[in-house]
Amino acid sequence: MKFYKFALSTIALLALSTFPSVYKGNVLANEEDEASKNTSSSPREFAPPPENAETFAFQAEVNRMLHIVINSLYQNKSVFLRELISNASDALDKIRFLSIGKPELLKEKEELEIRITYDTKDNTLTITDSGIGMTKEELATNLGTVARSGTTGFLNALAEGAADLNMIGQFGVGFYSSFLVADRVKVSSKSPSDPVQHTWDCQNGESNFVIYEDPRGNTLGRGTEITLYLKEDAMEYLDPLRLKELASHYSEFITHPIQLRTESTTTVAKESPEKSSDVEDEFEVTEATEEAEKPEEETEEVTTYSWDQVNTNTAIWSREKESITDDEYQEFWKIVSKEPYTNATAWTHFNAEGNINFRSILYLPEEIPYNLRQGHIETEKGGLRLYVRKVLISEEFDLLPRYLANFVKGVVESDDLPLNVNRENLQESKILKVIRKKLTHKVIELMKKLSDEDIQEREEAKTEEKKGEEEEEKKEEPEKKKGLWMNFYKKFAPSIKLGIVEDDANRQRLAKLLRFKSSKFSKKDEWVTLADYIGRMKPWQKEIYYFPGEKLKELKSSPFMQVFNEKDIEVLYFIDAADEYMVNHLFNFDGKPFRSITKEGIKFEDEDENLVKRREKAYQAKFKPLTKFLKSTLGSAVTQVVVSKRCGEAPAVVSSTQYGHSANMERMMKAQAFYHGRDEKEAEAPKVFEINPRHPFILKLLALSPPEDEEAAEDFVVAPSTLDAVWTLYDVALLNSGFSLSNQKSFTSRMTRVLKSQFDVESLELEEEISVPEEEDVPPEFDDSVGGINMDDFSSMAGDEL
């Protein structure tokens, strides 16, 4: 089997997953022309190959492919290192597999490893592996031709923009990414089936290559050595820190060790030859003379080399989860999250089998990520890493919906993914959609498991404590960490609620995870689920009542709550800013619709319906003059004025229309910082003024209102104080109902008139300035000195005394 054929589908595709490219019309031809201009002459002079070198011509399709790779395909040239390491890893996998049946294959070199070296003098980078290696024929075939039929047709289709991009992996372009950074590439290889080590040599831009017997002899023992003569703009790859960063990023979980040779130069004292003792005996030198004539110490630079393994992390997702300890999972969390000082709340490790096979570990964090803490809900990059055969493909695939991708960390590895030329096409892959769906379900299942454990913990807390021997046995058992779900939920509830807004398919599943404060419970740590609420609903109750607001204390004392407290009806407090957005998409839970208690039209079915209707009719008739007067006075500030029985002890409340937004939503809409070109009045909710027919203020206003008879009303004069009372009553109701004042200037003017009347002040004109006596007329009590003692001196003396 030919191994180093870089047309291996999976590895070649690695180069293509992350870097988009589009080919349409005659773009390909233009790129080839431009490429020929750019690569026709190399700026560097290289030594000619040996005389025994044999020249080969690239296959035409390979030449065309080379132009595509260099000029269009890769937008990130650093990918070359990933490609070469991936190919080296494949070579090592193959020799390890073959050595099971033929142990003698490892005779020349037992170590299975990848080594990376750099030379700052020659500007070269070398990647060496101890894998299967290649013979002379394999070098010519694998690196000079594409042994696939239909290549020409594929490239033509690629130029026309009509190629099946899934085919690109069959043509092997990974190795050619070397020419992104190199003017010249040399591949020396030693195969166990060939006694001679050969070298493949090609300069960038040439249409042929040479192969010759390596003049160094058998230096490899077995394996392949790829040397890149770097371009002037690629000198960054001679930096060991940069190389370590790239190798670790793409290949940190490669099975075989990747060793990077680093060098360091130090200055040391140069050893001098010992002086002859005979010469020293001829002279007597004093100590001062010795010190004066002591020569300067000679130094020299010494370069030392060391090997650092860059892939010390292990891919624990490929192991059986029963063999992995919690500590190992937590250590792996620190690797994938890049959070060395935090732990994970929980994790799920699974193998998915079916139409698509993949392995994954997903983590829920303990702490809120920085992006969410800053209020950014855009998808966090690097949340999930996609691997193929332990090689990183990308950190930017949308493997989870936004509301989960913002905080879930982990890895996914699949060998079944048909990677395409550009990343956008991969995003539309049906297989990727299957992976996304399964990963989403797994995360929700993990959260549900924590939520169910929380419910069980609360149930156990309600039971009586066991005593005696059972209690002692319980103490001996390892204590299970409790409160995981609520610790997690308090931090990540907004993301879960965002999921209810955006994820139609999983909306009801996510709703089961929700927790709310309730009017039934007053303790700080008591939260209820929607299922809990439904289990306590009144027999006649058909809706889930909720109260949106900002502060829990204000909601509990609101006039809206009085009638619900009297009737012992449970109300959920929506104090999270995301709650109202969420409920506008959730609509119902377990068949029970949600209903805000701040909206108009709240009715209770625990009363005699006929009696309620007769009473409502009587109140409407009695207060018709007042409702008409209030509506004409308040004008456009309210949509309607109604008689209400849910005001409790308050004279009036202001509610929203059934389909309008609440006071809390109005407040949030007005606070939006980045809304453009919108009038603030557009954020104001249509308001309903509900009056309490039993309150003395309302009865007094009824007496002060114009009569219903039109003739009598024409002669009726409304006192200014009555108008002030109406608006004051409305302003108080606005504030008590959670709204802000619509006209603060008018409110201030009215309050000034109320205070003027209260203090019986006729005029608000300011008095004259107070008269101050002249300095010489200042009485003794205002003098700075007392009894001949200056007050400043007295203060100084007091300070000294202290």
> How far does Cα 82 stand from its chain's mean position?
25
pLDDT (0 to 100) of residue 17: 35
CB neighbour burial string for 79-99, b if at least 16 within 10 angstroms, e if fewer: bbbbbbbbbbbbbbbbbbebb
> Is the model's pLDDT at 374 over the cut of 50?
yes
Q: Which residues pair with 387 in a beta bridge?
A: 392, 413
- 438 closest CA partner among 400, 476, 407, 409: 400
The better pLDDT of the pair 668, 518 is held by 518
Least confident of 25-39, 408-422, 608-622, 670-684: 25-39
Classify residue 516 by its DSSP letter: B
For residues 749, 754, 758, 761, the Cα torsion angle rounded to the nearest 10 degrees is 40
- 76 closest CA partner among 226, 249, 238: 249
pLDDT (0 to 100) of residue 312: 87
Give the SS3 label for residue 44.
Answer: coil
d(Cα 314, Cα 254) in Å, to the nearest integer? Answer: 8
pLDDT (0 to 100) of residue 122: 92
Contact, 214 vs 198, CB < 8 A? yes
Taking residue 638's Cβ as centre, other Cβ atoms within 10 Å add up to: 18
pLDDT (0 to 100) of residue 351: 94
pLDDT (0 to 100) of residue 264: 80
Contact, 670 vs 683, CB < 8 A? yes
> Is the model's pLDDT at 36 over the cut of 60?
no
Residue 67's alpha-carbon distances to 41, 60, 431, in angstroms, are: 15, 11, 31
Structure tokens at 403: 């509301």
Contact, 578 vs 494, CB < 8 A? yes
Structure tokens at 151: 């290549």
Classify residue 324 by its DSSP letter: -
d(Cα 686, Cα 348) in Å, to the nearest integer? Answer: 48
> Is the model's pLDDT at 4 over the cut of 90?
no
d(Cα 163, Cα 417) in Å, to the nearest integer? Answer: 18
Q: Where are the beta strands (DSSP E) in 270-314?
A: 299-309
Sheet containing 517-518: give its strands across. Answer: 517-518, 572-574, 544-548, 592-596, 588-589
pLDDT (0 to 100) of residue 62: 67
d(Cα 302, Cα 267) in Å, to the nearest integer? Answer: 6
Structure tokens at 356: 């698509």
Taking residue 149's Cβ as centre, other Cβ atoms within 10 Å add up to: 9
Domains and CATH numbers, the chain: 9-14+53-256 (3.30.565.10), 316-451 (3.30.230.80), 516-596 (3.40.50.11260), 609-671+682-758 (1.20.120.790)
**Cα angle vertex 717, ends 647, 624, to 5°?**
35
Residue 46's alpha-carbon distances to 43, 53, 202, 560, 609, in angstroms, are: 10, 15, 11, 87, 100
**Cα angle vertex 675, ends 670, 681, to 5°?**
45
Contact, 463 vs 525, CB < 8 A? no
Please give the mean pLDDT across all residues of the chain: 80
* Tens of pLDDT, residues 447-464: 999 999 999 988 887 775
- 379 closest CA partner among 361, 395, 359: 395
Q: Any idea which residue has 């609903």 for tokens?
A: 537
The better pLDDT of the pair 39, 544 is held by 544
Q: Which residues pair with 307 in a beta bridge?
A: 261
pLDDT (0 to 100) of residue 271: 67
Structure tokens at 158: 């690629």
d(Cα 252, Cα 245) in Å, to the nearest integer? Answer: 10
As a whole number of Å, the CA-based R_g of the chain is 41
> Is the model's pLDDT at 446 over the cut of 70?
yes
Give the SS3 label for residue 393.
Answer: strand
- 400 closest CA partner among 408, 391, 392: 408
Q: Where are the beta strands (DSSP E) in 51-104?
A: 54-57
> Is the model's pLDDT at 770 over the cut of 80?
yes
pLDDT (0 to 100) of residue 69: 60
Band of residue 172 on the pLDDT scale cut at 50, 70, 90:
very low
Q: Any idea which residue has 């203060």 for tokens?
A: 795
At position 645, the amino acid (one-letter code) is K
pLDDT (0 to 100) of residue 623: 95
* Percent of the chain topping pLDDT 90: 46
pLDDT (0 to 100) of residue 149: 37
* Tens of pLDDT, residues 73-115: 555 788 889 889 988 998 999 999 999 989 999 988 889 999 9
Range ranked top by mean pLDDT from 258-262, 367-371, 460-464: 258-262
Count of residues making up the chain: 802
The better pLDDT of the pair 622, 149 is held by 622
**Cα angle vertex 242, ends 239, 243, to 5°?**
85
Taking residue 57's Cβ as centre, other Cβ atoms within 10 Å add up to: 13
Instruction: Over range 393-420, report the average pLDDT.
Output: 83
* Tens of pLDDT, residues 204-252: 877 889 999 999 999 999 999 999 999 999 999 999 999 999 999 888 8
**Cβ burial, residue 599 (10 Å; 0-12/13-18/19+):** middle
> How far does Cα 211 stand from its chain's mean position?
50
pLDDT (0 to 100) of residue 546: 96
pLDDT (0 to 100) of residue 673: 58
> Is the model's pLDDT at 783 over the cut of 70?
no
How many CA atoms lie within 13 Å of 288's alpha carbon, on the beta-carbon side?
Answer: 0
Structure tokens at 206: 């040439």
The better pLDDT of the pair 658, 642 is held by 642
The better pLDDT of the pair 179, 331 is held by 331
pTM metric for this prediction: 0.76
> Is the model's pLDDT at 197 over the cut of 50?
yes
Taking residue 152's Cβ as centre, other Cβ atoms within 10 Å add up to: 13
Band of residue 501 on the pLDDT scale cut at 50, 70, 90:
very high
> How far does Cα 188 stand from its chain's mean position?
45
> Is the model's pLDDT at 3 over the cut of 90?
no
Structure tokens at 611: 């009696």
Give Dmax over CA atoms of the chain in angstroms: 144
How many CA atoms lie within 13 Å of 722's alpha carbon, on the beta-carbon side?
Answer: 17
pLDDT (0 to 100) of residue 476: 47
* Tens of pLDDT, residues 721-733: 899 999 999 999 9
* Strands 344-352 vs 588-589: parallel, antiparallel or unpaired: unpaired
How many CA atoms lie within 13 Å of 512's alpha carbon, on the beta-carbon side?
Answer: 15
Classify residue 25 by its DSSP letter: T
Instruction: Over range 303-320, report the average pLDDT.
Output: 89
pLDDT (0 to 100) of residue 541: 93
Structure tokens at 348: 């799920």
Give the SS3 label for residue 374.
Answer: coil
* Strands 588-589 vs 198-203: parallel, antiparallel or unpaired: unpaired
